[in-house]
Amino acid sequence: MSETGRPVEVAPPFEPLIEERPAGLVRRYFTTLRHLSGILAGVLGAAVDQRPPARQHGFGYRSQQLLRALTRPFLDRDLRDRPFEVQLRKRLETLGPTYIKLGQILSLREDLLPRSITDELKNLLNRLPAVSHERFLTLLEAEIGRPWREVFAEVDEVPLGSASIGQIHLATTVEGEAVILKMVKPGIREKVKRDVILLRSFGFLLQLFLERIQPQRVIREFCSYTVREVDLRLEADNAETFAANFKDEPDAVFPKIDRRYTTENLIVMEYFDGIEPGDEARRLLTEEERDKVIDVGAGTIIRMLYRDGFFHADLHPGNLVILPGPKAGFIDLGMVGRFDEELRRTLLYYYYCLVMGDAENAARYLAVLADAGPASDVKGFRRAVEEICRRWHRASSFEEFSIGQLILESVGKGAIYRMYFPVEMVLMVKAIVTFEGVGHLLKPGFDVAGVSRRHVNQLFLKQFSPLRLAREGLRGAPELVDALVKAPMLITEGLRVLEQSTRRSKPSPFAGIRSTVLGGFCLVAGAIVIGFAGPVWAWVSLFALGLILALRPGS
């Protein structure tokens, strides 16, 4: 979708996509079940058709043939004779916005689905029906709580974009400022919530038939992202979080949000008057300007992924704008990905090994990122990834060497070796592929590894700077202080119990060994406390206790 000022062609009205009062849950259940059954029948038909001639025999094959013959009369005649990939795409489009969004996510999962399916899903509708201009203005007034002309001098009649969830118009405020109006289409939120309920219930059924692609987990991840995307207040929060994260980087720009008129259904934000990377106007940029845009884009994406763990999860060339300066503007921030600290650190190590050409450790860290089950072949996966890394590292240009393709092909091996990767990994790859694609548009043949290496080295050094390590160490300070405060009491109680047990029990031939082991343990504990810079009295007392126990009579 475009937010840069150029109207796009909008698809003609298509009733299932623009109904404002969605069908009830029961009716939707049977509609979804019908198409789901059709998808499973398509899987069965593809399995029968693609079975090698040498294996077209036996009870299993005959049973599949019979089941296919029995279900065929009930399938849509316009779909049943088409390839399964086309059947799947058409059924998702018919089911509407939620399933189109699901298909767009599945089109990225080359680690789970065959390339033929992901390629076909990339053809899903991306320009969907828009509500009329009059209806849009009515919705706008309902959200701002006043006549729209009191706030906006003009609202363009032709939308800039109309996607599965939102519709975008360019407007001018009464103060003369150009802004973007993004509105959730009427009825979409209800549809999404209803479809999420059904998808989660159908996930269990799909798991029985398609366990290899982990449908329950994919659906759960998808539902989590989609529910957040229909609340535009969260997109406003995302924009402000990105701006705060990059306040020290003036060349990475995110739209300012007008909170006065931003609601659950409407977001009003700054309009970026620039050029998209794919526009012919990019040819007017000087070589120095192109190098700067590539450098800023690379640094921004690497920081998002590996420093902040908070990144643009729907990144593509249409969501990037080259602004005067030049600066890199990022828009359409409704879908974001998050990495926790441990995952982010492991990803940084993995990416660092990639750009440094360390295939063995890159494979090791990638294996750590995957969820391995009982049937997983971790060693085989690592060997396969090592080979891919070495093969790809023989080149250094975009045409021959793409870090995004390298990661995607490596992650794709997970399906073969039963290693499952979270959806954030795939969204990360999408961000990297976008950076590479935009870089190639601006400067064909640019050195992907070279540009990445410099930024990841800087980030790696900052990650392990003494100040950062000290700051992270302070996070556990409360627990450490609490343990040290209690240490004298525990030591006193321990000595008292030890004295009582010594008086009551007879000497044991193993007493000396026990005391020596305990003393050695206390010495080690003291050394550990010293290593973490505990208070002087704490580690002195631990050392003293260790020496007393180690040197006491009988030891």
Domain-by-domain residue ranges, the chain?
15-123+191-229, 275-464, 477-551
- What is the b/e burial string over 152-188, where b = at least 16 CB atoms within 10 angstroms of the residue's CB? beebeeebbbbbbbbbbbbbeeeeeeebbbbbbbbbb
Q: What is the pLDDT of residues 295-341, one digit of tens each?
A: 998 899 989 988 898 999 888 888 899 999 899 999 989 888 888 88
The mean of the pLDDT values for the chain is 78
What average pLDDT score do residues 10-28 get? 55
Q: What is the pLDDT of residues 126-150, one digit of tens each?
A: 677 888 999 999 999 999 999 999 9
Between 448 and 23, name the one with better pLDDT.
448
What average pLDDT score do residues 246-269 get? 95
Q: What pLDDT score was predicted for residue 408?
A: 81
**Amino acid occupying residue 19:** E
The answer on pLDDT for 527 being more than 60 is no
Between 9 and 475, name the one with better pLDDT.
475
Structure tokens that stand for 275 in this block = 């050029």
CA 302, distance to chain mean position in Å, is 14
The answer on pLDDT for 9 being more than 50 is no
The answer on pLDDT for 29 being more than 80 is yes
What average pLDDT score do residues 230-250 get? 94
- Residue 546's closest CA among 514, 524, 529, 513? 524
Between 109 and 400, name the one with better pLDDT.
109
At residue 547's C-alpha, the angle toward residues 544 and 553, to 5°, is: 130
Q: What pLDDT score was predicted for residue 1?
A: 44
Q: What is the pLDDT of residues 451-491, one digit of tens each?
A: 777 887 777 777 665 655 555 555 555 665 666 666 666 67
Q: What pLDDT score was predicted for residue 19?
A: 52
The answer on pLDDT for 524 being more than 60 is no
Which of 105-119, 157-171, 217-231, 413-427 is predicted most confidently? 157-171
Q: What pLDDT score was predicted for residue 261?
A: 94
The answer on pLDDT for 66 being more than 70 is yes
The answer on pLDDT for 168 being more than 50 is yes
DSSP secondary structure letter of residue 127: S
Residue entry with tokens 């979708």: 1
CA 195 – CA 203 distance, rounded (Å): 12
Task: For the chain, report the end-to-end CA distance as a whole number of angstroms.
Answer: 78
What average pLDDT score do residues 108-124 get? 81
- Residue 104's closest CA among 84, 125, 83, 82? 125
Q: What pLDDT score was predicted for residue 537?
A: 42
Going by pLDDT thresholds of 50, 70 and 90, the confidence category of residue 249 is very high
Between 543 and 456, name the one with better pLDDT.
456
- Residue 268's closest CA among 238, 226, 233? 233
DSSP secondary structure letter of residue 275: B
Going by pLDDT thresholds of 50, 70 and 90, the confidence category of residue 233 is very high
Going by pLDDT thresholds of 50, 70 and 90, the confidence category of residue 269 is very high
Q: What is the pLDDT of residues 346-383, one digit of tens each?
A: 888 888 888 788 889 999 999 988 887 777 889 999 99
Percent of the chain's residues with pLDDT above 90: 22
Q: What pLDDT score was predicted for residue 382?
A: 93
338 half-sphere exposure, CB direction, 13 A CA radius:
7
CA distance to 243, 292, 448, per residue, from 251 (Å): 11, 9, 20
Are 47 and 65 in contact by the 8 Å Cβ rule? The answer is no
3-state class of 88 per DSSP? helix
The answer on pLDDT for 344 being more than 80 is yes
pTM here is 0.71
